[in-house]
Structure 1
């Protein structure tokens, strides 16, 4: 997966930047529904990473799973950075 990250760094950087902008725009999840949705996305990221690391899916489809795991993780990390950065900046 390290080789994939070194080849796909522009996409990972774009996912991180888009996630940061989205998190800053939306802010941290407030209320039960948004928190459940954020938890579901985090669970989806963990399941995708586990599938990629286990090597369950071979070939081209496995490459797609590994790419999705990396991109989703970078996007969610950016969302967290942007959302909590806005919370600290505004104090709300």
Structure 2
């Protein structure tokens, strides 16, 4: 996994930064429909992690799935941290 992260760290850092910005701008979802919509990327991450963990896709396509799982995980972590920062700062709008 380290050999995968080392060349991809700029993209992973960019996805984390983008997630921080989006999470800080959007905040925590409050309406039921937005909570459902926010859960869809989590389902996608679970699917990608399942495919990557079980090694069901070999070769280059499997590598793309692992990269997508890493990038999406960094983005969602950034979104969560940004939303948490907005919530702790007390901004409501």
TM superposition score category, shorter chain reference: over 0.9
> Counterpart in 2 of 1:38?
38
Q: CA deviation at 1:40?
A: 1.8
The residue aligned with 2:21 is 21
Q: Say how many residue pairs are matched.
A: 92
- Name the residue aligned to 2:69: 69
Question: 2:91, 2:21 → 1: CA distance?
Answer: 18
TM-score by length of 1: 0.93
1: CA distance, partners of 2:91 / 2:75: 24
Match of 1:86 in 2: 86
Return 5+ residue gaps in structure 2 as ranges: none
Q: Measure, in 1, the Cα distance between the counterparts of 2:6 and 2:53.
A: 17
Q: Give ranges in structure 1 of 5+ residues lacking alignment.
A: none
Corresponding position of 2:10: 10
How far does residue 2 in structure 1 lie from its aligned partner after superposition?
2.7
